[in-house]
Chains A and B, each alone.
Chain A
Amino acid sequence: MTFNILSILPILVLAGFGMLVLVVDVMSARKLGEKNLLAYLSLAGIVIAAIVSRNSTATTLFSFNETFTIDNYALFFNILFLLSTGLVILISHSYIKREDINHGEYYALLMFSTIGMMLMASGADLLNIFIGLEVMSISIYILTGFKRSKLISNEASLKYFLLGAFATGFLLYGISLVYGTTGTIDLRQIASFVAGKGGVKDPLLLMGMGLIIVGLGFKVASVPFHAWVPDVYEGAPTAVTAFMSVGPKAAAFAAFMRIFLTAFGSSHYEWQKAIWILAVLTMTVGNVVAISQTNIKRMLAYSSIAHAGYLLVALVAANNMGVSGTLFYLLAYIFMNIGAFAIVIVLSQKGDVGMNIDDYAGLGFKHPMLAIAMTLFMFSMAGIPPMAGFVGKFYIFSAAIKSGYVGLAIIGVINSVISVYYYLRITVIMYMKEPVRDFHPLTISPLIVVAIAIAVVGTLHLGIFPSKVMEIAQRSILTLR
């Protein structure tokens, strides 16, 4: 029995700070509206957890009876999750005040959800990954409905919960089938079982694998398990939308890659073809439907579906470049997507008014800095150099070509071209249309400015100097197989 408290130190830190936030919130209940302390406390928790993660042991560590592992892969994702949660806290602070949902548990739920993500990236057996997924999801179900008085928010929350529970059923069923055929839920033991048989041949095991694809496909928002995404993204508070478009997606991919590369790595022929089709569907539907959106949150929702499609391309390629490219891409995606949502938050008004794409007309002249930042994020998502998104796509598509999936890479590039249309439309509207509304004096809190600045710097830095991060990503994936 191995038990190493150090291995879960980041999780403990987050849990501790989450509960501290709850306690402090209750103790200072009288001073509603003035909850800056809670935000700072949560940020401190994030930073400390990040420091602890960084200082964790450099060698791979198994603990809790080998069900939990801390390796470079998990550490990379830990930093990724903490970064995204940190940025979301920065953009939430003024937003939840404006929307009158400034309750202390908001921050606590963000942190609990992050704990779930970390568990998913660190799980060494299927059950731990499942528990992580549930911890993460349940917090987000609540966060989605955080605007208690708003019908649309409640509806989104309920939809997400019902469908999420439904998809979880598939995942669990898949896990139990895998357990039934292999006799284990430990990823490495499954791997040796599969390798011993010379690949997965048992129909029941194959079915289990397929059901796991469904369960995780729901979380990464892959077509046809994506239908919840636009409705939920639109209904949720914008800051929560930003949160769930990056962190949970990254966590689901972390689990996806760990399960399929570690446990089923030796028989990737069986699952690659299914994911190939999912990737093509996801990219195409995401991009094509995004074109006809008029609400920016829905557009970003479809855009996030499309990005999941690109990431599935890397999963199909399943080579080192593809997997490290996924890590890189997720990091880039955090910067550009949270950045874009930050701008959306700044420009909307109380009650989330001003979410139409046409509301952005003339922004380039009224608020040049915001418009430049938004342009940068859009360019990055469209994959235009020298932004981070370009480099990420470059790695992913070249990984596909390396593995011989030239057709898939071509479909990806065509999709990327289609996406340019709706990303650049924002820029066109910002700079080439006369303003239809007057942006009244925006109240921009310093914290959100910090978040936008970090996102801008990150987007540009990863785009211009990608090699350093890519090196780290390449080192991080060595323990996967």
Chain B
Amino acid sequence: MLNLISLVLLFPLIGTAINGLIGKKLRKETVGYIACGAIGMSFFVAILVFFGLLQLPPESRVFEKQLFNWIESGSFKAAAGLQVDPLSSLMILIITGVGFLIHIYSIGYMHHDKGYHRYFCYLNLFTFSMLLLVLGNNFLLMFIGWEAVGLCSYLLIGFWFEKKSASDAAKKAFIVNRVGDFGFALGIMLIFITFDTIDFTGVFHAASQGNIAVGSFTVTIITLLLFMGATGKSAQIPLYTWLPDAMEGPTPVSALIHAATMVTAGVYMIARCNVLFMLSPFTMTVVACIGAATALFAASIGLVQNDIKRVLAYSTVSQLGYMFLACGVGAFTAGVFHLMTHAFFKALLFLGSGSVIHALSGEQDMRKMGGLKKHIPITYRTFLVGTVAIAGIPPFAGFFSKDEILLEAFVRGNFIYWAVGALAALFTAFYMFRLLIMTFHGKSRVDHHAMEHLHESPKNMTVPLKILAVLALLGGFLGIPGASAINGFLSPVFGEHGHVETHGAEACGSHAACLPYLMMVISTGIAIAGIYLAYLMYIKSPELPKKLAERFSLIYKLLLNKYYIDEIYDALFVNPIKKISLLLWKRVDAQLIDGTVNGVAGFVRGFGSVLRLSQTGYVRNYAFYIVAGCIFIIVFVVFGK
């Protein structure tokens, strides 16, 4: 069954090809069926592969399939090969599973759009690229997937490219990602120089054999460069600024690319390279610090935003920070576990917000919502599940994964990691319930025009919501402390260091064994506190937020304007670069280079026209050239010493 793995990639590619080449001529229904069918079949094969993997004994759950030899040049070899192991099989299940639901949802959401086939073509291409990213068995193939998802992200953020804000956002995402990708590419080159191979097996084997000293300079640079790539793709400080703007794309795209899958590629990459990262304590500290800082920083911005999708975007940045925090303290399993639950509930939340926006004919400002609970009940109920899950109330999915991260941060890291994470969790609970209350509860602030069209979304949108709600509700049980299925499943990839062994079943005798339970109680308490604050401020005494904003106007403004980071970046990087570019363009390019090039071209053309004259059409001239050439050659060969 493992041999089927190439089919997982093939189906989305076929879907892309059909919709890309002839989608314009097909009926809308057909386009949708093809796109969804492709991902559906891919998902089905992914399940088969998953069970195929389960049949193997845990220690031998690695399967590589070589497709073809791609580049061979000196000692550099790159094969196109796929690698199935617990980590990649889990990833492809998430990508195709959640991706399938979002494809179905898109049929309803994008129904009125004139770029319908283009949309599905991109979406299929994205799925293919993402699968390539996680299935590649060497760094180069991973990098190709990495770049391809970046391209698809660019195309889909700018899907409504007639809108200037959308095309600007697309450009921003692409350019900011370039910075990270540059680091990633350098990291891969350094890996090749150091290990003389770019195959995962070869590199990780060499690294785990002790050839490289722990904390050595090379491995620190390599991992820092890789992490630089991760900060770009996964929107971490300092390269997170593109993700909130990326909300200009269609909402299902935000759900699939900018919440559930692509942005987690950085986490996947670090988890994949855990062997390398474990060799560099310094990088690990950097990863953990950046992760924790991003978690708190983004959550604090989320507190005061008014655009429903932007709140969710900052929430995504913050949740990704948690995953990096987990990876940074060496708890890769916890990181991947949170990646999975986050994919469920954040996709749910985005799709839910999409349903709200759909119902309100495109309105995204929460100040113009409110009281939607009774109008769109299914959306409300599923959204509530997602909100509770992200806030971290047991037994919803987010609780288990976030709790595990906080626990690991405390046990392996230090109190500060935990404190920052916990504060971010408080913020998360607050802003998510603020969002829920502002959107669905209280009095309606919807303008009457939108009110007339207010309707619950069609079935093809609500059914995915329901399924994701079930996953957000139950997904956490895969990683329930003490009997964690996901720990056991991923342990061949992460080895001993992947997770802390917590034998919760034992009696709460010693202090250490008690800790997990104590932690659970504390984090539940934090979540409830956050929810209560939201209740207090937006239901009980709705005048409170205004008062607070006036009282702490400086902080409020700072948060509302996202710490002015965009403005700072503009002043520090964008504008100077623009100025230099302008100079280079006007002076160096237009005058110096173009002048030279045009001069050379003119010369060549003139030379050509002169040479052309030698083409007289007379045989006698041609024969003369031959004789002349002959004399020249003979003189040269015989006497030209």
- Report whether A218 and B626 are in contact in the complex, using a CB–CB cutoff of 8 Å: yes
Among residues of B, the one whose C-beta sits closest to the C-beta of A166 is B623
User: Is B637 an interface position by the 8 A CB rule?
Assistant: yes
A288 with B604: CB separation less than 8 A: yes
Contacts A213-B633, A214-B629: A292 and B612 contacting too (C-beta < 8 A)? yes
Question: Bound complex: CA of A207 vs CA of B608, how far in Å?
Answer: 32
Candidates A231, A274, A467; contact of B633 at CB < 8 Å:
A274
Q: Which chain A residues in 253-288 approach chain B with CB under 8 Å?
A: 270-271, 273-274, 277-278, 285, 288
Using Cβ atoms and an 8 Å threshold, which residues of chain B touch A210? 630, 633-634, 636-638
What distance in Å separates the Cβ of A269 from its nearest Cβ neighbour in chain B?
10
List the B side residues contacting A467 at CB < 8 Å: 69, 72
Chain B, residue nearest A202 (CB): B638
CB-defined contacts of B601 to chain A, threshold 8 Å: 421
A224 pairs with B628, CB closer than 8 A: yes
Q: Say yes or no: A224 contacts B608, CB within 8 Å.
A: no
> When each residue 574-614 of chain B gets 1 if its CB lies under 8 Å from chain A and 0 otherwise, what string results?
00000000000000000000000000010011011101101
Contact B619 A206 (CB under 8 A): no
Answer whether residue B621 sits at the interface, using C-beta atoms and an 8 A cutoff: yes
Smallest Cβ distance from A198 to chain B, in angstroms?
15
Known: A203-B638, A230-B615, A465-B68. A291 touches B605 (CB 8 A): yes
For the complex formed, measure the closest distance between the CB of A266 and the CB atoms of chain B, giving whole angstroms. 16
User: Do B637 and A214 have beta carbons less than 8 Å apart?
Assistant: no
Given A170-B630, A210-B630, A292-B605, decide whether A163 and B638 contact each other with a Cβ distance below 8 A: no
Q: A201: shortest Cβ distance to chain B, in Å? A: 10
Q: Which among B619, B629, B637 is the interface contact of A209 at CB below 8 angstroms?
A: B637
A289 & B630 in contact (Cβ 8 Å cutoff):
no
Question: Is B617 an interface residue when CB atoms closer than 8 A count as contact?
Answer: yes
Q: State in angstroms the CA–CA spacing of A228 and B68 once bound together.
A: 45
CB-CB under 8 A from A285, the residues of chain B are 611
State the Cβ distance, B271 to closest chain A Cβ, in Å: 31
Cβ 8 A contact of A224, one of B68, B626, B634? B626
B609 partner residues in chain A, CB cutoff 8 A? 292
The CA of A209 and the CA of B614, in the complex, are separated in Å by 28
CB distance from B634 to the nearest CB of A (A): 4
Residues of B within 8 A of A162 (CB): 619, 623
Q: Counting chain A CB atoms within 10 Å of each CB, which of B607, B608, B612, B617 scores highest? A: B608
With contact pairs A210-B638, A288-B608 given, residues A227 and B614 touching in the complex (Cβ less than 8 Å) = yes
A460–chain B nearest beta-carbon distance, Å: 14
Tell me if B625 is interfacial: C-beta within 8 Å of chain A: yes
User: Closest residue of chain A to B639, judged by CB?
Assistant: A203
* A34 to B320 Cα, complex, angstroms: 72
Distance in Å: Cβ of A62 to nearest Cβ of chain B: 30
Contact check, B638 vs A288: say whether CB atoms are below 8 A apart: no
B509 within 8 A of A: no
Q: Does chain A have a CB within 8 A of B640?
A: yes
> Which residue of chain B lies nearest to A270 when distances are taken between CB atoms in the complex?
B637
**Contacts A163-B622, A225-B626, A273-B640; is A289 near B611 (CB within 8 Å)?**
yes
Main secondary structure of the interface of A (DSSP, over half): helix
- Expressed in whole angstroms, the minimum distance between the Cβ of B532 and any Cβ of chain A is 60
Tell me the minimal C-beta distance from A353 to chain B in angstroms.
21
* Distance of A338 Cα from B70 Cα, bound (Å): 27
Interface size on B, residues (CB 8 A): 30
Bound form: Cα–Cα A305–B187 in Å: 44
Contact B629 A217 (CB under 8 A): yes
- Is A418 part of the contact surface with B, judged by Cβ < 8 Å? yes
Residues of B within 8 Å of A277, CB to CB, are: 636
The reply to whether B626 and A166 contact each other, CB–CB distance below 8 Å, is: yes
On chain B, the residues within 8 Å of A206 by CB distance are 634, 637-638
CA separation between A211 and B627, bound complex, in Å?
A: 10
When each residue 164-196 of chain B gets 1 if its CB lies under 8 Å from chain A and 0 otherwise, what string results?
000000000000000000000000000000000
Are A214 and B630 interface neighbours, CB within 8 A?
yes
B65-77 interface mask toward A, CB cutoff 8 Å, 1 = contact, 0 = none?
0001110100000
- Across the interface, which residues of B come within 8 angstroms of A213, CB to CB? 633, 637
| A206–B617 CA distance with the chains assembled, in angstroms | 32
User: Which residue of the partner chain B has the closest CB to A276?
Assistant: B636
B634 touches A207 (CB 8 A): yes
Task: Please tell me if A159 contacts chain B, counting CB pairs below 8 Å.
Answer: yes
How far apart are the CA atoms of A206 and B638 in the complex, in Å?
A: 6
The smallest C-beta distance from B612 to any residue of chain A, in angstroms, reads: 6
Q: Contact check: which of B611, B615, B633 meets A288 at CB < 8 Å?
A: B611
- The reply to whether B611 and A207 contact each other, CB–CB distance below 8 Å, is no
Collect the chain B residues with CB atoms within 8 Å of residue A306's CB: none
User: In whole angstroms, what is the CA distance A230 to B611 when docked?
Assistant: 13
Residues on A with C-beta less than 8 A from B629 are: 214, 217, 223-225
Q: Are B608 and A289 in contact (CB under 8 A)?
A: yes
Question: In the bound complex, how far is the Cα of B605 from the Cα of A273, in angstroms?
Answer: 28
Known: A227-B615, A285-B611, A292-B608. A273 touches B626 (CB 8 A): no
A167 adjacent to chain B (CB < 8 Å): yes
Q: Bound complex: CA of A203 vs CA of B615, how far in Å? A: 33
In the complex, residue of chain A having the shortest beta-carbon distance to the beta carbon of B607: A288
Q: Does B640 contact A167, Cβ atoms closer than 8 Å?
A: no
- Mask of A277-312 contacts with B, CB within 8 angstroms, 1/0: 110000001001111100000000000000000000
Option from A211, A224, A274, A278 in Cβ contact (under 8 Å) with B625: A224
Which chain A positions have C-beta within 8 A of B619?
A: 159, 162-163
Residue of chain A at shortest CB distance from B640: A273
| A residues less than 8 Å from B625 (CB atoms) | 224-225, 227
Cα separation A270 to B634 with both chains bound (whole Å): 11
Cα separation A218 to B626 with both chains bound (whole Å): 8
Measured CA separation A289–B614 after assembly (Å)? 11
Measured in the bound complex, the distance between the Cα atoms of B607 and A270 in whole Å is 31
Instruction: Please name 29 pairs of A and B residues whose Cβ atoms are closer than 8 Å in the assembled complex, sorted by A.
Output: A159-B622, A162-B623, A163-B623, A166-B626, A167-B626, A170-B626, A207-B634, A210-B634, A213-B637, A214-B630, A217-B629, A224-B625, A227-B621, A227-B625, A228-B622, A230-B615, A273-B637, A274-B633, A274-B636, A278-B633, A288-B604, A288-B608, A288-B611, A289-B611, A290-B608, A291-B608, A292-B605, A292-B609, A465-B69
Given A225-B626, A289-B612, list of 7 further CB < 8 A pairs?
A166-B623, A207-B637, A214-B626, A214-B629, A231-B615, A273-B640, A274-B637
Query: Ordered nearest first, which 6 A-B pairs have the shortest CB separation?
Result: A227-B622, A224-B629, A210-B637, A210-B634, A292-B608, A288-B608
Binding site for A on B (CB under 8 A): 68-70, 72, 601, 604-605, 607-609, 611-612, 614-615, 617, 619, 621-623, 625-626, 628-630, 633-634, 636-638, 640
Interface residues of A (CB under 8 A from B): 159, 162-163, 166-167, 170, 203, 206-207, 209-211, 213-214, 217-218, 223-225, 227-228, 230-231, 270-271, 273-274, 277-278, 285, 288-292, 418, 421, 465, 467
